[in-house]
Amino acid sequence: MGISTKEISEVIKARLKDFDASLVATDVGRIVATGDGIAQIYGLQNAMAGELLEFPKETYGLALNLEEDQVRAVILGSWASSGTCTRETRCAPPGGCSRFRSARSS
């Protein structure tokens, strides 16, 4: 005696009924080149000018040059191989200095 397709269907429907998953959309890019503290990043089509970019190992960058298929950013720390958008922007007054911090916990 085997399991019928109707029984399998009922089990799947019951499990899907109680299934609750949250969806998190994140832009993730790949650093394709670096030089003089500037990273060329492919894949961050929704990045904003002045946006704080988050890299692995608590390293951050500041998106400055937005192009159609890439972003160039100043790396604020050690080199990284990938990055994500934080949806935060920072501005410093002329002649001033600002500290960059992510509101998201790592």
What pTM did the predictor assign? 0.53
Query: Taking residues 53-64, what's their average pLDDT?
Result: 84
Q: Say if 32 falls within a structural domain.
A: yes
Q: Is residue 41 part of a domain?
A: yes
| Residue 53 located in a structural domain | yes
Strands of 43-81 (E only): list them.
51-55, 59-66, 70-76
Mean pLDDT of 98-105: 38
**Domain assignment of residue 104, yes or no:** no
Q: How confident is the model at residue 78 (pLDDT cuts 50, 70, 90)?
A: low
Mean of pLDDT values over 82-99: 51
Return the pLDDT at 30. 87
1 is a domain residue: no
Residue percentage of the chain with pLDDT more than 90: 2
Domain that holds residue 46: 27-89
Tell me which of 17 and 101 has the higher pLDDT.
Answer: 17
